[in-house]
Chain A
Amino acid sequence: QSALTQPPSASGSPGQSVTISCTGTSSDVGGYNYVSWFQQHPDKAPKLIIYEVTMRPSGVPDRFSGSKSGNTASLTVSGLQPEDEADYYCCSYAGSSSYVFGTGTKVTVL
């Protein structure tokens, strides 16, 4: 169960878009349409922002969107806001009731 690979950092100016990749294998990301994304502000618990690859929970702005192609999932944050500065983690179901998280990406709003 190796962690999914994410870039360590990403950045953009307010109003711009940033896309974060999440690369796994056919045993996790590529094998299931159960990729989710979490936003984590410093010293806070993670918050679900995308589930089942593309779905947004109620209350999450539509600036957040998800996609997947093969073994790689992506999160796009459009129209960056200062409050979007946070760590972002992808997560994939990996079979047998297990999950695997990504390595995490720190998003900086310039």
Chain B
Amino acid sequence: EVQLVESGGTLVQPGGSLRLSCAASGFTFSSHSITWVRQAPGKGLEWLANIKQGENDKYYVDSVRGRFTISRDNGKNSVYLQMNSLRAEDTAVYYCARDFFFYIDVWGIGTTVTVSS
């Protein structure tokens, strides 16, 4: 069974940093791009970032470029999202998902990040 499990979400102060993790199983991890998507409370979905199979090709939405960094470790079947200079508006459920060649198919259950003092 294809599965993605996020972790690392917590309460963090404005201006702080946090690293989210996404552990994958049930498929050939190194053959797929992975995407991060977030959903603020009561709001819609927002695509954040994507990392290609080869670990070096990374893409970001304008609102997080320069603050967030996506990375992966194919040896550990994991993807990470390093989030710096966090703001209240970054409060959301963060999902990792498999990118199946131009569409997103399988999602994790999400991890909650709350930015508040």
Contact = CB atoms under 8 A, between A and B. Distances in A.
Interface of A: 1, 3, 32, 34, 36, 38, 45-48, 51-52, 57, 89, 91, 93, 96-104
A48 B102 CA distance: 13
Contacts of A34: 102-103
Contacts of B109: 45
Nearest to B62: A1
B98 to A, nearest CB: 10
Given A45-B109, A97-B59, A36 B103 contact: yes
A100 B37 CA distance: 10
B44 A104 contact: yes
Contacts, number: 62
B27 to A, nearest CB: 14
A97 B33 contact: yes
Interface size class of B (residues with CB under 8 A): 20 to 34
Contacts of A1: 47, 61-62
Interface of B: 33, 35, 37, 44-47, 50, 52, 57, 59, 61-62, 95, 99-100, 102-110
A99 B35 contact: yes
B62 A51 contact: no
Given A45-B108, A48-B104, A57-B105, A101 B50 contact: no
Nearest to B57: A97
Give the interface centre of B45, B104, B108 by most chain A CB atoms within 10 Å.
Answer: B45
A103 B57 CA distance: 28
Contacts of A104: 44-45
B26 to A, nearest CB: 15
A97 B49 CA distance: 9
Nearest to A37: B103
A60 to B, nearest CB: 12
